[in-house]
Amino acid sequence: MTVDPGQSLDESDHLGNSDNHYSAEPPVMNGRTRLASIFTFLAAVSVACASLVSAAGNQPNILLIQADDLGFDDLSINGNTCSRTPNIDQLAETSVRFSNFMVNSVCSPTRGSLLTGRDYWRTGGEGLHGCKEFLHLDERTFANAFQDAGYATGMWGKWHNGKADGYWPWDRGFDDGYYAKLYQYFPSSGYYNGYPKQVVHEGEWSPKVLTDYTIDFISRNKDNEKPFLAYLSFLTCHSTWNTPDRYRNKYLKDGQSDTFATLLGMLEFMDDQVGRVLEHLSDLGLDENTVVVFISDNGPNKGGSKNHKGADVLSEAEWALRNNHGFLGSKSKLWQNGIKSPLFVRWKGRYRPADVERLVTVTDVFPTLLDIASIELPRDNPALDGRSIKPYLEGDTKSLDEKRAVFTHWHPTWEGDHYDPLQDKTALDAAKQKMTLINEHYKLIQNEYAVPGSPKHRKGVILIDLKADPMERTNVAETHPQIVRTMQSELKLWFSDVVGSFHSFTPTVFQIGWNGKASSEVLAFGPSKTVGVKNTSHVATGWDAVGDHAEYRIHVHRAGTYNVSLKRLAKKNETTAVVVVSCNGKEVRSKLKHTSSQLLGAMHLDAGEHTLRVEIAAIESGEPSSLQIKALKFDRS
């Protein structure tokens, strides 16, 4: 069946709906209470009790499956005539299907919002790479909530929300975790449950390895008194594209190019793995007591990296075949094809298969799972921006008020240097941000790049009437000025509220001695401040002159003497420099050698939070700009 959308917004509407919404954050802005009544996307699930409460014995298992860079049109059930995804199609046919489910335009923001139920910029996440994707350690994930409620929890695959002590999956509520290396399809490698050495699955492809972990976890927990939450997070179909020959060859025989055949083979390979895990649930008799959720993290990527033979860029004809509906844009864009994702929710015997057209967003997944499992959050949990859509799953598509949601470019400093530390978040200008505000009638797009077929902007603004123009071909801003003004005001209020949030745009705090560990690292590309130093996605570089330095926030869990080593990319003609590492008046200094790892010396660190400083004290020879520092390693002596 098809469900009609809810009440639409006309030019005189003022978004006057409200739900319960509370926050344990300091009341930085007086407008927070008012905003709670303005934005339905700030309306969270009711959180009435001070500790996690669950209805023990009546809770379902949860299986959350997420694809990477999977477009809405990549599935054959959505009309793609080239792809073969029968298992996901079958899942969709037996699920509640959401045709208007929106996510962020790139991976880390979507995953951060999925984990926390909160708008990404509230969580401490500020961007993508350069340690900008780390979630604040006071943020609580759905794994924390389910773990505290007695669930066994596991996660395997792509994480992308922190890769240092305190930020790994096993530090954020998952009992069992495999952090897969990006984007290595063969052989699969990664880190498992905090073991220091990388695990390499020789001769094994990533989709199968991740599914094997999931199946093993389900098997180990099938007879437990407590239910399980399993999060299977595929790398497919992110660049670089690669798949076993037996999958690629099927599509080569169909006459597809090697590039397109590889992509289509990847989709079928992942689909087979989805079929494996669903069949395993059935074989164990867990079908009717397991809620299965399937989503993507953003829209499809046109390619641009290297696959097994070269560039994995699709031709225009292939791109059109991949995107059969013709939605505008792609991954990283705020047009529909960048943020529209499949969402299927199946609970056999409970939820009747149906099509729902109401607007739903990624922040709604967390509170919905809580509602399904009868779990309530503690009062000190950061306020959720999502709301439970359980009524939609049960066939009631009218009781919830109209949804509003904001999605943004992943970096607030998208016009400048993405990775340099943000020194003053209050200086950020809402009018300069790339953002979109969506409700169930209109979509306001601000400062987004034009793409083929997109309408011309009016002073940087585009207004789309989604009911009349779901393909986003016409800008109606000029004929609806009041709606534009109203939605611009909402965007400005939302952004001001985000900037005032306690965790927003905060630099990463690196943990020394986390959980008693004797060895810890501070990633050089996660500074809180730089002078002369250039931060990039995976190294700190630009150490050109004496006095150039970078500062890092650290939390020392155990006072003591630590041996300090510097890790870098060693290159010929690299700077011969003297580096000083200091903290609280104590320091070590050493002349750099042309090695990838070098012991600088020993220094005492006091317990607590401190600022660590790395500075060039002297330059003797070489090319200064070639110095690329990866990390500082601290080993307790």
In contact, 599 and 632? CB cutoff 8 Å: no
Pairing of β 228-233 and β 61-67: parallel
Q: Is the pLDDT of residue 19 over 60?
A: no
Q: Which of 4-18, 209-223, 592-606 has the lowest mean pLDDT?
A: 4-18
- Which has more confidence, 31 or 284? 284
Question: How far is the CA of 244 from the CAs of 247, 310, 318, in angstroms?
Answer: 6, 16, 21
Q: How many residues does the chain have?
A: 637
How many other CB atoms sit within 10 Å of the CB of residue 257?
14
Report the predicted TM-score, pTM, of the whole model to 2 decimal places: 0.91
Q: Is the pLDDT of residue 390 over 80?
A: yes
Looking at residue 56, its pLDDT comes to 45
Amino acid at 619: I
Q: Which domains does the chain have, with CATH numbers?
A: 32-349+368-403 (3.40.720.10), 407-500 (3.30.1120.10), 509-636 (2.60.120.260)
Looking at residue 191, its pLDDT comes to 98
Q: Is the pLDDT of residue 1 over 60?
A: no
H or E stretch including 111?
A: helix 107-116
Among 235, 448, 498, which residue's Cα sits nearest to residue 336? 448
**Which burial class, exposed, middle or buried, applies to 192 when counting CB atoms under 10 A from its CB (0-12, 13-18, 19+)?**
middle
Among 442, 470, 447, 466, which residue's Cα sits nearest to residue 458? 447
In contact, 602 and 561? CB cutoff 8 Å: yes
- Average pLDDT of the segment spanning 284-295: 98
Q: How far apart are CA 349 and CA 54, in angstroms?
A: 22
Question: How far is the CA of 109 from the CAs of 80, 161, 408, 554, 579, in angstroms?
Answer: 27, 8, 9, 24, 35
Q: How far apart are CA 382 and CA 608, in angstroms?
A: 23
pLDDT band, residue 61 (cuts 50/70/90):
very high
Place of tokens 């600088």: 600
Q: How far apart are CA 248 and CA 259, in angstroms?
A: 9
Among 449, 524, 435, which residue's Cα sits nearest to residue 120? 435
Mean pLDDT (the chain) is 90
Looking at residue 282, its pLDDT comes to 98
Q: What is the pLDDT of residues 266-284, one digit of tens each?
A: 999 999 999 999 999 999 9
How many other CB atoms sit within 10 Å of the CB of residue 77?
17
Q: Is the pLDDT of residue 212 over 50?
A: yes
User: If DSSP codes are grouped into helix, strand and coil, which group holds residue 265?
Assistant: helix
- Residue 143 is classified by DSSP as H
CA angle 98, 100, 104 (to 5 degrees): 110
In contact, 166 and 514? CB cutoff 8 Å: yes
Q: Is the pLDDT of residue 254 over 90?
A: yes
Q: Is the pLDDT of residue 20 over 70?
A: no
Looking at residue 309, its pLDDT comes to 63
pLDDT band, residue 308 (cuts 50/70/90):
low
% of the chain exceeding 70 in pLDDT? 88
Secondary structure of 415-481 as H, E, C letters: CCCCCCCCCCHHHCCHHHCCEEEECCCEEEEECCCCCCCCCCCECCEEEEECCCCCCCCCCCCCCCH
**Which burial class, exposed, middle or buried, applies to 122 when counting CB atoms under 10 A from its CB (0-12, 13-18, 19+)?**
buried
Burial 413-431 (b: 16+ CB within 10 A, else e): beeeebbbbbeebeebebe
Q: What is the pLDDT of residues 144-185, one digit of tens each?
A: 999 999 999 999 999 999 999 999 999 999 999 999 999 999
Q: What is the pLDDT of residues 546-559, one digit of tens each?
A: 999 999 999 999 99
DSSP bridge partners of 294: 65, 344
Q: What is the pLDDT of residues 213-226, one digit of tens each?
A: 999 999 999 988 89
Looking at residue 486, its pLDDT comes to 98
Distance of CA 164 to the CA centre of its chain: 16
Six-digit token string for 492: 């400005």
Q: How far apart are CA 279 and CA 414, in angstroms?
A: 44
Distance of CA 492 to the CA centre of its chain: 24
Looking at residue 168, its pLDDT comes to 98
Q: How far apart are CA 467 and CA 434, in angstroms?
A: 23
- Residue 68 is classified by DSSP as S
In contact, 492 and 29? CB cutoff 8 Å: no
How many other CB atoms sit within 10 Å of the CB of residue 215?
20
Q: What is the pLDDT of residues 529-586, one digit of tens each?
A: 999 999 999 999 999 899 999 999 999 999 999 999 999 997 766 667 899 999 999 9
Q: Is the pLDDT of residue 442 over 90?
A: yes
Pairing of β 343-346 and β 290-296: antiparallel
How many other CB atoms sit within 10 Å of the CB of residue 285?
9
In contact, 47 and 117? CB cutoff 8 Å: no
Q: What is the pLDDT of residues 322-360, one digit of tens each?
A: 999 999 999 999 999 999 999 999 999 999 999 999 999
Looking at residue 623, its pLDDT comes to 62
- Which has more confidence, 622 or 513? 513
**Which burial class, exposed, middle or buried, applies to 237 when counting CB atoms under 10 A from its CB (0-12, 13-18, 19+)?**
buried
Q: What is the pLDDT of residues 107-128, one digit of tens each?
A: 999 999 999 999 999 999 999 9
Transcribe 190-235 into DSSP letters: EEETT-SSPEEETT--HHHHHHHHHHHHHHHHTTSSS-EEEEEE--
Q: Is the pLDDT of residue 37 over 80?
A: no
In contact, 229 and 62? CB cutoff 8 Å: yes
Six-digit token string for 172: 């954020």
Amino acid at 616: I
Amino acid at 281: L
Distance of CA 141 to the CA centre of its chain: 12
Q: How far apart are CA 413 and CA 91, in angstroms?
A: 40
Residues near 39 by beta carbon (within 8 Å), at least 6 away in sequence: 15, 404, 490, 494
In contact, 110 and 298? CB cutoff 8 Å: yes
Six-digit token string for 532: 């002369």
Among 398, 402, 429, which residue's Cα sits nearest to residue 413? 429
DSSP bridge partners of 577: 619
Among 343, 218, 214, 201, which residue's Cα sits nearest to residue 273? 214
Q: What is the pLDDT of residues 478-529, one digit of tens each?
A: 999 999 999 999 999 999 999 999 999 999 999 999 999 999 999 999 999 9
Q: What is the pLDDT of residues 42-57, one digit of tens each?
A: 443 333 333 344 444 5
- Which has more confidence, 416 or 609? 609
Q: Is the pLDDT of residue 253 over 50?
A: yes
